[in-house]
């Protein structure tokens, strides 16, 4: 291997990982070994590894080594995230299927709690200060690698004492169906997609590098009367998602 800069080292390793020479879950050679291979200092190799970590290809851990965390084909929402959440059961099923298809093991963590929504969510829901929500939080993982953070906020007065409080398992038909049966059928939705740096909480929950970018999708569903009865916020590391949609032109 000829003398290389940190961009070259990163590019070469990136290529090798994507080409499958380092399987997801395997451990890269230690830094001193890579340094020898590329005839570069260990500092240089470290910088290259940080770059790959920012892309989500690897996860270096002190004392343990550098694990490959690349998820080969991108997770994509064939129709659109909206459509996926529309049918809760299927959304879970779709995630499971996509992860299984690439040979990884999908897992889910679901928590349900009562909490005050952040200002942005409260505004979308038209809630005043002090009005709580039911929050359904989900964390989706592929073979232990966190891939998606998902939080659905529903006004407490709507959700209290209903099936929505069920934490375990997926609500059959999804949150939107459940809300519909409770008398709040949704007819339209608004979505806001943003690409940004992760918050500290997201860095922890998604176990990602500080320099990774995330996609933040905020989805608000409203009834025929115009009331927003559900806001779902999804955060996922940027390179995991391709969004596709079809729509009519007027």
Contacts of 118 (CB under 8 A, 6+ apart): none
Strand partners of residue 77: 243
Compute the least distance from the CB of residue 217 to DNA, in Å. 29
Please list every residue from 74 through 133 that binds its own copies, using CB under 8 A. 82, 86
Contacts of 234 (CB under 8 A, 6+ apart): 81, 148, 149, 150, 151, 215, 216, 217, 218, 219
- The residues in 36-55 that bind DNA, with binding defined as CB under 7 A, are 39-44, 46, 49-50, 53
Counted residue by residue, the chain has a size of 250
Residue 52: CA atoms inside 13 Å, Cβ hemisphere, count?
Answer: 29
Establish if 187 lies at the interface with its own copies (CB under 8 A): yes
CB 158 within 8 A of CB 230: no
- By CB under 8 A, residue 189 contacts its own copies: yes
* Nearest-approach distance from CB 37 to its own copies, in angstroms: 22
In angstroms, what is the minimal distance from the CB of 39 to DNA? 7
Q: Is 194 in the site for its own copies (CB under 8 A)?
A: yes
Enclosing H/E stretch for 178: helix 174-181
Query: Of these, 2, 19, 63, 168, which contacts DNA (CB under 7 A)?
Result: 63
The b/e string for 109-123 (b: 16+ C-beta within 10 A; e otherwise) is ebebeeeebeeebbe
Residue 84 β-bridge partners: none
- Under the binding rule (CB under 7 A), the answer on residue 64 touching DNA is yes
Select 46 or 162, whichever has its Cβ closest to DNA.
46
Alpha carbons 199 and 186: distance in angstroms, whole number: 31
Partner whose footprint covers residue 55, from its own copies, DNA, none (CB < 5 to 8 Å by kind): its own copies
41 binds, among its own copies, DNA, none (CB under 5 to 8 A by kind): DNA
Q: How far is the CB of 1 from DNA (least distance, A)?
A: 12
Q: How many residues bind DNA (CB under 7 A)?
A: 28
Q: Which residues bind its own copies (CB under 8 A)?
A: 7, 51, 54-55, 82, 86, 176, 186-197, 210-211, 213, 215, 221, 238-239, 241-249
């Amino acid at each position: 291997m000829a003398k290389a800069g940190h961009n070259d080292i990163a590019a070469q390793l990136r290529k090798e990982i994507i080409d499958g020479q380092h399987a997801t879950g395997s451990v890269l050679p230690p830094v001193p070994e890579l340094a020898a291979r590329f005839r570069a200092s260990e500092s240089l190799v470290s910088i290259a590894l940080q770059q790959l970590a920012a892309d989500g290809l690897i996860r270096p851990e002190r004392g343990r080594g550098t694990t490959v965390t690349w998820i080969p084909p991108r997770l994509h929402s064939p129709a659109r995230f909206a459509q996926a959440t529309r049918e809760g059961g299927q959304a879970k099923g779709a995630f499971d299927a996509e992860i299984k298809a690439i040979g990884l093991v999908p897992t889910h963590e679901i928590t349900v709690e009562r909490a005050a929504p952040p200002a942005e969510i409260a505004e979308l829901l038209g809630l005043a200060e002090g009005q709580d929500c039911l929050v359904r939080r989900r964390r989706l993982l592929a073979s232990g690698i966190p891939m998606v953070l998902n939080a659905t906020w529903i006004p407490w007065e709507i959700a209290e004492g209903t099936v929505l409080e069920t934490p375990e398992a997926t609500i059959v038909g999804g949150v939107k169906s459940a809300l519909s049966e409770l008398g709040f059928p949704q007819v339209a939705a608004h979505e806001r997609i943003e690409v940004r740096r992760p918050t500290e909480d997201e860095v922890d929950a998604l176990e990602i590098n500080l320099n990774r970018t995330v996609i933040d999708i905020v989805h608000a569903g409203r009834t025929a009367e115009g009331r927003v009865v559900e806001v779902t916020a999804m955060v996922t590391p940027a390179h995991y998602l391709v969004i596709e949609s079809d729509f009519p032109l007027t």
